[in-house]
Structure 1
Amino acid sequence: MASYKETTMLLPLSDTRTFGEMDWQYITIHNTANRVSARSEAMYVHSGKSEVTYHFAIDDRECVQIQRLNMSCWHAGDGRGDGNTKSVALEICYSLDKGDSRYPVAEDNAAHKSAKLLLSKGFGIDRLRNHQIWSGKYCPHRMLDNNGWEPFKRKVAKYMEELKESKKTRLSTPDFIEKIKDGAIKGWETHGILPSLTIAQAILESDSGNSELAVRANAIFGIKASTDPSWTRIYKKKTSEWINGKYVEVLAGFKSYKSWDESIRDRLLYLTTRCIGGVYIYKNLIGEVDYKRACQKIYDDGYATDPKYPGKLIDIIEKYKLYEYDKKALKESGVDFMDKQVIIAYWSDGDLPNAEALFNAIGAGLLTKTKDARIYKDKGAFIVQVGGYDIKGADKKVFGDDRLATLKEVAKFAEEIKGGR
């Protein structure tokens, strides 16, 4: 099965190497006749040293888009004919040396990309062309040398059928939401994270449960195994990392899970316990009741580097009305405990995330930092101490041997409260 990363390096709209806008009707296949990668090909086109332009350069690892699909390119050698003005150009890299093992993989990737493009317009294999058909030039030379044009077309047709079949079995976003919504709602009760944020991130990060990590590792948030050295179930896959000012392909280890529910629970735990330099980096996210602010906060706290990340999450929440799950979670948690005001007290800032998680789980009382809760007890309040040292006047102490253990006790106590209502 073809495997490649899709990257965009678009020419500026001011670039004049075009015949103007087009409604493409064909795909034209080329060979680059050199030894460089798709990214290097794209950089050369951007340099302006050649009159030739094309839409995609593809190699054994990457497909780089250089021109917009609604803009024509100079590539087919047929003047203002349909080749230049009505076809999408794919350049297959590493074709110069017959012994280059990267070329067959690049050609396979090109067949897959061609299939995707044809399906996107509802076209059939009859819309596939090579450079020679348009102008007579011996290109794609490597393919023509091996009498490989007809086999290539058959491979494209095969990929088209496979893609059609996979589309039938692809999980829809509404179905994905239905499968994970209960775990997301429960996440508000136990950890104070809005269900809409949890679901939107899962949709975005896992392609609605259809990504490789979601299917093969039940990982719908893509949390790296390096964040938790104690985690033993690891799924390794190639990914791109921004290192020293450029993207580098690395083999990364991701947490693998028994189920999507376990993935959700671990992500909630990650958000409420992730501590760097003594700082709980997502503590301001816990208890946030406005989904727009929550989407902005998780970005500001460093969860993602894409500046459009908050907007993408908000768009998903509003498209699928995920805020309705927030309303449900907030309504269910807004009940007074034991008909008293509850004071959630904590000793140090390190216990704040756990205290806020409990505050949101029971939905009542006043979260306060205090060493002496007697003033509140004198007013008839029920005092709950979370973590830290003993707090004078506490009616209930919720803590463990460490903060992770405390968080588990918080979840347990919250369930007890729910059961007693």
Structure 2
Amino acid sequence: MSISTGLIAIFTKRPIIFKDHFGGVSFQMNMHRREMLKKASALALSATGLPLLDADDFAPKKPTNKLPRWKGFNILDFFNPDPRNKRQNTPEEYLRWIADWGFDFIRVPMAYPYYVDFDRTRPITKEEVYRINVDRVHEVVDLVEKANRCGLHVSLNLHRAPGFCVNAGFEEPYNLWEDPEALEAFTFHWAYWAKVFRHKTQDQISFDLLNEPCWRADMNDQFSKRSAVPKELYRSLIVKGFDVIRMVNPKHRIIADGNNIGNDVIDNIPELDVGQSCRGYAPGLVSHYKAPWVFPRPQDLPAVSWPNVDNGKLQAKAWLREQFAPWIALVEQGGGVHCGECGAWRETPHDVALTWMDDMFSVLTEYGIGFALWEFDGDFGILNSSRKDVQYEDWYGQKLDRRMLALLEKYI
């Protein structure tokens, strides 16, 4: 077709006849005038030897997230400090399902007492913090290997580090934010894990230094008031963790959870090649509705909805965008961001949870920020969540929340 033929068709709105030069077959097609204008312009530019341009070439480009847009789940095999109270080891078939459904990521929150040897009839001592149990280490290695075989990236996280955890329930021998000995133990553990996985690539593993750092007035009180760790104090911990890990493998990928329980961007580590992990739990009334470890009197809570109104302010998708604005800004400044935890507990009405999650994932995806649902199998998850308002699908003997899975698949 000549350029003149195309222009005539545009202005006369006549059908155009295309001839197949290979088989001699001709066919007829009507084109919308605007589409034909674009094609005629492209033909004219091509004839003059100029580069072909598209409308997208003139649109402002969104910044690229420095971290991959990983999508997946938290796996809680080593979450409990006492291995006698652990869940089952995650079977490899679970990891295959995760991969087959299109996900590419698991986050593994670990309590360091799980993999050390000490007399569990009494509180752990400072010396026992260093007594690594090799058999427990092999369990971690086995999970990582199984996940990598399935094509999943694994992010190892110290959910409980020597001297600190966002949760109560274990008596520490010191305080990570106040005692140099605790910081030394923290770096020892990360140096150890870096050596164990020294041959792993950035595609296979990353190291999430500390889960949800915060300052707690009383480490043994679950409802103790929490606040942000002083910035320079948290920075010093990140630098030390970064140094010992990169000393083993200069290409290891390192992630730091946002300050103040994962909610605040860390703004004083711009020179470090460290990604940051945010949280997808706002508002807490929706994500942790009636959770007894969050609300001392869950029976007194009002009914929950989404969108929601709190103190006269509408909480909807635009509100979520405001909550994530500092993290979006970090991406725009060239940083790396991933949402390491998100989701709703089993008591949140299912329709409310799904509507809220849909809005949240929409905002995150718009800026290339991936997510890891807390959790895969359990009260927040897509398997065996014990929700009372879900019609579960029998999935190889497990109770699958198909509607929640379908929502997550929408954002893969």
Which TM-score applies when normalising by structure 1? 0.27
Which TM-score applies when normalising by structure 2? 0.28
Q: Which has the higher helix share?
A: 1
Highest Rg: 1 or 2? 1
